[in-house]
């Protein structure tokens, strides 16, 4: 086979190729033709092109406020269009995104906008285009004598988008989907023993109740908490409560969002950008397992770096849940700066079970019910078991026609008693055997039976 000598192109050669390509587009592409006509510039040497590659997150944040920014700063869009690469122009392409739960808005996606400042006549052209699966390209075209003005516009646009970030103080997932917040969840919705209640309050509520104090004193907070316990004891419920009561950003992360280390890095950046933030990490043992048994050490390494690495986490509370705290990497679990506190959420004792029974039954009519005896007979039940027991009792009451004249359900002792055995056989065995599952049978996307209520 003939030997072929590969020569590295010089920087000057690469620049010549780039300049030739730009000139060709400037003179032949219909979108660029429209831009140069608008700016009144014939030669490409007389135009400045400011280009930035931005993430999907940045495009969304900027896109939501883009037209508001222009209006607030005296600019108007005189024309907008897009092209498919042919000689044809089409309407500007917008993307419809969610900006509140089930509230959508159209934002910039692909095309060009010709923009004029009404007060001083300053003209600029803006283009947004696809760059890769998770990024876009922003381009600003202006007369070369106005380059400094374009740089100011770009700087002010970024500051405006940051100030009016539509995700700030919202409850979201890492893909910017909004969580449906149940306003019925309050701290009264979770029943814990006195010790656990005090631990939760001192590690979370103390911060949330004093956010103004932190701000006025120009100081920040950082807290890492692990909630451990068997499924159904209320770990996830605490997260749902925080979504309702916390007046700060909550980012809810399940294992499906953490298949790659780059995803973990983006989530860390998002938490810092939207701070103060609660970063709620479900089932952290699936991606934070001990390094000798971890199937992907890059996930563990990136997780540790994001929790306590080069980037300082200010005003962030990280809450992780796990059913297997013993499987967590020690550098995660026992390292100040990553997780400071491990709080065990135990199965409810008899008094807690009684309070749960009363709470979940409060909206129904009741006839001669002894919640004390039911609580005694539900030893080892989790909060999820108790809730299921009440649901079964309600179903039995309906099946038996235990209703008043207005078709309102009447719960009786027998409905609970007959449900205890059913729940025990179906649920308790699963809970007690849960820790006996072999780790090798699990994947990062596993879901567990009897998840937290």
Is 80 exceeded by the pLDDT of residue 139? yes
Among all chains, which residue has been given the structure tokens 């007369």? 143
Would you state the pLDDT for residue 162?
A: 93
- The predicted pLDDT at position 338 comes to 79
Q: By percentage, how much of the chain surpasses pLDDT 70?
A: 82
Strands 277-281 and 249-253, bridge-based pairing: parallel
Contact 284, 258 (CB under 8 A): no
Per-residue DSSP letters for 8-21?
A: PPPHHHHHHHHHHH
pLDDT at 337: 64
The full set of domains in the chain, from first to last, is: 18-166 (no CATH), 187-344 (3.40.50.300), 350-436 (1.10.8.60)
Report the C-alpha gap between 353 and 379 in whole angstroms: 9
Q: How confident is the model at residue 316 (pLDDT cuts 50, 70, 90)?
A: very high
Mean pLDDT of 223-230: 91
Mean pLDDT of 239-243: 95
Averaged pLDDT for residues 309-319: 81
What is the spatial distance between Cα 289 and Cα 296, in angstroms, rounded to a whole number? 9
**What confidence tier does 157 reach under pLDDT thresholds 50, 70, 90?**
very high
Q: What is the pLDDT of residues 92-130, one digit of tens each?
A: 999 999 999 999 999 999 999 999 999 999 999 999 999
pLDDT digits (tens, 9 = 90+) for 381-429: 999 999 999 999 999 999 999 999 999 999 999 999 999 988 876 655 5
Question: Can you tell me the distance from the alpha carbon of 155 to that of 96, in angstroms, rounded to the nearest whole number?
Answer: 25
Distance between first and last Cα of the chain: 69
Residue 21: its pLDDT value, please? 54
Length of the chain equals 453
Question: With a threshold of 0.85, does the pTM exceed it?
Answer: no
Residue 253: strand, helix, or coil? strand
pLDDT, tens digit, 9 for 90 and up, residues 62-95: 999 999 999 999 999 999 999 887 788 999 999 9
Instruction: Summarize the confidence of residues 273-279 as an average pLDDT.
Output: 96
């Amino acid at each position: 086979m003939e030997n072929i000598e590969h020569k590295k192109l010089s920087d000057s050669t690469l620049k010549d190729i780039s300049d030739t390509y730009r000139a060709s587009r400037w003179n032949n592409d219909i979108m660029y033709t429209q831009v140069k006509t608008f700016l009144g510039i014939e030669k490409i040497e007389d135009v400045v092109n400011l280009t930035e590659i931005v993430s999907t997150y940045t495009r969304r944040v900027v896109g939501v406020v883009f037209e508001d920014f222009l209006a607030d700063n005296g600019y108007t869009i005189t024309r907008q269009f897009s092209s498919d690469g042919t000689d044809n122009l089409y309407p500007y392409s917008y993307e419809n995104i969610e900006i509140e739960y089930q509230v959508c808005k159209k934002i910039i996606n692909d095309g060009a906008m010709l923009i004029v400042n009404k007060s001083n006549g300053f003209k600029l052209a803006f283009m947004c285009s696809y760059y890769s699966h998770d990024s876009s390209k922003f381009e600003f075209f202006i007369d070369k004598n106005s380059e400094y003005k374009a740089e100011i516009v770009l700087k002010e646009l970024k500051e405006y988008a940051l100030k009016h970030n539509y995700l700030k103080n919202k409850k979201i997932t890492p893909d910017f989907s909004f969580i449906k917040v149940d306003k019925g969840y309050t701290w009264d919705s979770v029943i814990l023993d006195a010790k656990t209640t005090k631990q939760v309050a001192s590690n979370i509520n103390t911060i949330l109740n004093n956010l103004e104090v932190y701000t006025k004193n120009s100081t920040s907070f950082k807290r890492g908490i692990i909630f451990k316990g068997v499924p159904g004891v209320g770990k996830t419920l605490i997260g749902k409560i925080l979504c309702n009561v916390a007046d700060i950003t909550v980012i809810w992360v399940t294992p499906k969002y953490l298949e790659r280390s780059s995803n973990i890095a983006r989530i860390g950046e998002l938490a810092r950008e939207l701070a103060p933030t609660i970063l709620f990490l479900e089932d952290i043992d699936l991606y934070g397992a001990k390094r000798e048994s971890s199937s992907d050490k890059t996930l563990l390494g990136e997780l540790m770096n994001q929790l306590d690495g080069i980037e300082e986490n200010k005003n962030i509370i990280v809450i992780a849940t796990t059913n297997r705290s013993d499987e967590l990497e020690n550098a995660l679990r026992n390292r100040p700066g990553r997780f400071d506190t491990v709080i065990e959420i135990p199965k409810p004792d008899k008094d807690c079970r009684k309070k749960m029974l009363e709470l979940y039954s409060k909206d129904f009519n009741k006839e001669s019910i002894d919640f004390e005896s039911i609580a005694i007979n539900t030893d080892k039940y989790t909060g999820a078991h108790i809730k299921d027991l009440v649901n079964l009792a309600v179903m039995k009451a309906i099946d038996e026609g235990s209703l008043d004249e207005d078709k309102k359900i009447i719960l009786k002792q027998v409905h609970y008693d007959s449900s205890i055995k059913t729940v025990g056989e179906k649920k308790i065995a699963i809970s007690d055997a849960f820790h006996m599952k072999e780790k090798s049978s699990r994947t990062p996307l596993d879901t567990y039976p009897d998840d937290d209520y």
